[in-house]
Amino acid sequence: MTPQEVANWREALGGTRFLLTVGCSVINSVFFVCDVLSENGYLMILGGTVFAYVASTTTQAITTKRDANVKPD
């Protein structure tokens, strides 16, 4: 597989941020099922992961919009 094919595959699944969020949630769930995390710990990590995902997506959208409105000299 070429690097471009890997990048296309990753973007088809939702992008790097989405895949990292899903991976974090899977690991978090495994720890909870194995009784390593309490319910409160599980919910805190899950909430933090969702917050980070939404915040980064919003920041990127704002930055992209701002950069699109900047006119070159």
Question: What token pair was written down for 53?
Answer: 């995902």
Q: Can you give the residue ranges of every domain in the chain?
A: 16-68
Give residue-wise pLDDT tens across range 8-49: 888 888 888 888 889 999 999 999 999 999 999 999 999 999
The pLDDT-based confidence of 71 (bands split at 50, 70, 90) is low
Say which DSSP state 14 is in. Answer: T
Is the pTM for the entire model greater than 0.85? no
